[in-house]
Structure 1
Amino acid sequence: MVNAGRICCIAAPFLLSVGVLVCMVLLFVAGTSSGDKGTNDLYFLKINLTDLTLSTSANLPSEIDGANTTILGGALQAAKQALGMKDYYTIYLRSYCSWNGNDVYANCTDSKTYFWFNPIEVWGLNDTGISVDDYLPRSFRDGLDSYHAASKAMFVLYAAALAASCLTILVGFSAIFSRWGSFFTTFFAAAMAVATIGATGTATAIFLILRTALNHTLKDDYGIHSSVGTKALAVTWIGTVFAVAAAFFWLLSVCCCSSRSPYNPGSREARRTRAEKTPYTYERVGSPYLGPSDQQAVPLSNLGPGNHGGGYVPPYQHPRGAAYEPFRAQQGV
Structure 2
Amino acid sequence: MGKLGRFACIFVPMALTIASLVCLVLVFSGQLNKDMKLQRDLYFFKADTSDFIDNPDAVKVLNDVNIDNNLLQALQGAAQNAKLKDFYTVGLWNYCEGDQDKDGKETITFCSPRKANFWFNPVDVWDLDNGTSAKLFEGNVQKSLDAYHKVAGWMFSAYVIAIILTAVEFVVGLCAIFSRWGSLVTTIVSSAQTVFVFAAAITSTVIYGSLAGVFETALKPFNIQASLGKQMLSVVWLAVAFSTASGFFWLISICCCSGKSPHKKVSVEKTPYTYERVASPYLGASAGGAGTHPGHQLGNMPSPAHGTSGSAYEPFRHERV
Shift of 1:46: 1.0
How many residues end up aligned between the 2 structures? Answer: 271
Distance in 2 between the 1:158 and 1:49 partners?
29
Distance in 1 between the 2:295 and 2:35 partners?
108
Distance in 2 between the 1:93 and 1:125 partners?
23
Equivalent AA in structure 2 for residue 142 of structure 1: K
Give the match for residue 89 of structure 1. Answer: 88
**Within-5 A mapping of 1:45-194:** 45-54=45-54, 56=56, 69-101=68-100, 102-126=105-129, 129-194=130-195
Equivalent AA in structure 2 for residue 73 of structure 1: L
CA distance 1:235–1:203, change in 2 (3 Å): same
Contact kept in structure 2, 1:71 and 1:130, CA below 8 Å = no
Deviation per residue, 1:12-49 (Å, 9 max, x gap): 00000001100000010111112211122111111101
Give the match for residue 211 of structure 1. Answer: 212
Shift of 1:319: 6.3
**Which consecutive unaligned segments of at least 5 residues does structure 2 have?**
270-292, 299-321
**Which consecutive unaligned segments of at least 5 residues does structure 1 have?**
61-65, 265-269, 275-302, 304-317, 323-333
Distance in 2 between the 1:23 and 1:84 partners?
34
- 2:89 aligned counterpart, secondary structure: strand
Equivalent AA in structure 2 for residue 69 of structure 1: D
Shift of 1:88: 0.7
Equivalent AA in structure 2 for residue 156 of structure 1: S
Distance in 2 between the 1:320 and 1:27 partners?
93
- 1:97 aligned counterpart, secondary structure: strand
Distance in 2 between the 1:88 and 1:131 partners?
24
Give the match for residue 16 of structure 1. Answer: 16
Distance in 1 between the 2:2 and 2:162 partners?
30
Distance in 1 between the 2:164 and 2:267 partners?
44
Distance in 1 between the 2:82 and 2:213 partners?
26
Contact kept in structure 1, 2:70 and 2:135, CA below 8 Å = no
Distance in 1 between the 2:230 and 2:66 partners?
36
Give the match for residue 240 of structure 1. Answer: 240
TM-score between the two structures when normalised by the length of structure 2: 0.77
Shift of 1:132: 2.6
Contact kept in structure 2, 1:20 and 1:239, CA below 8 Å = yes
Shift of 1:98: 0.4
Contact kept in structure 2, 1:55 and 1:73, CA below 8 Å = no
Equivalent AA in structure 2 for residue 53 of structure 1: I
Deviation per residue, 1:36-91 (Å, 9 max, x gap): 1112211111110111124636999xxxxx99711111100000011431101000
Distance in 2 between the 1:250 and 1:98 partners?
43
| Residues 1:253 and 2:253 are matched in the alignment | yes
Distance in 2 between the 1:67 and 1:168 partners?
54
CA distance 1:273–1:30, change in 2 (3 Å): farther
CA distance 1:106–1:321, change in 2 (3 Å): farther
Give the match for residue 37 of structure 2. Answer: 37
Contact kept in structure 1, 2:2 and 2:262, CA below 8 Å = no
Equivalent AA in structure 2 for residue 124 of structure 1: D
Identity, % of aligned positions = 34
Contact kept in structure 1, 2:186 and 2:250, CA below 8 Å = yes
CA distance 1:58–1:146, change in 2 (3 Å): farther
Equivalent AA in structure 2 for residue 91 of structure 1: V
CA distance 1:52–1:5, change in 2 (3 Å): same
Deviation per residue, 1:270-304 (Å, 9 max, x gap): 54759xxxxxxxxxxxxxxxxxxxxxxxxxxxx8x
Equivalent AA in structure 2 for residue 158 of structure 1: Y
Contact kept in structure 2, 1:58 and 1:70, CA below 8 Å = no
The alignment yields a C-alpha RMSD, in angstroms, of 2.8
Shift of 1:137: 2.6
Contact kept in structure 1, 2:55 and 2:76, CA below 8 Å = no
Contact kept in structure 2, 1:75 and 1:130, CA below 8 Å = no
TM-score between the two structures when normalised by the length of structure 1: 0.75
Distance in 2 between the 1:117 and 1:172 partners?
38
- 2:117 aligned counterpart, secondary structure: coil
Distance in 2 between the 1:115 and 1:210 partners?
15
Equivalent AA in structure 2 for residue 180 of structure 1: W
Distance in 2 between the 1:114 and 1:320 partners?
101
